[in-house]
């Protein structure tokens, strides 16, 4: 479980990252997340790794 300081730091990092994306990049990210949730619910998890790689997210 994250303590408040860690949570605040992660939120600041995410906010900075999110702000660095163009409007199109934000929309593409949200679509990717929606598709990955659907894939995960159907038993496919490959899209999560694809999203991590595309957006530079460390897992």
The pTM (predicted TM-score) of the whole model is 0.57
**55 near 29, Cβ under 8 Å?**
yes
The domains of the chain are located at 32-59
User: Given its phi and psi angles, is residue 50 left (phi above 0), alpha (psi -120 to 50 degrees) or beta?
Assistant: alpha
Binned at pLDDT 50, 70 and 90, residue 1 comes out as low
Using DSSP's 3-state secondary structure scheme, residue 37 falls into helix
> Position of tokens 């598709």?
35
Residue range 2-42, pLDDT digits in tens = 678 877 888 899 899 999 999 999 999 899 889 888 888 88
Q: Is residue 24 classed as helix, strand or coil in its secondary structure? A: helix
Q: What was the pLDDT predicted at 2?
A: 62
Q: Encoding tokens for residue 44?
A: 């496919």
């Amino acid at each position: 479980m994250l303590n408040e300081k860690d949570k605040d730091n992660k939120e600041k990092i995410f906010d900075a990252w999110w702000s660095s994306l163009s409007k199109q990049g934000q929309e593409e990210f949200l679509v990717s997340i929606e598709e990955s949730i659907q894939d995960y619910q159907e038993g496919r998890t490959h899209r999560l790794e694809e999203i991590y790689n595309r957006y530079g997210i460390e897992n």
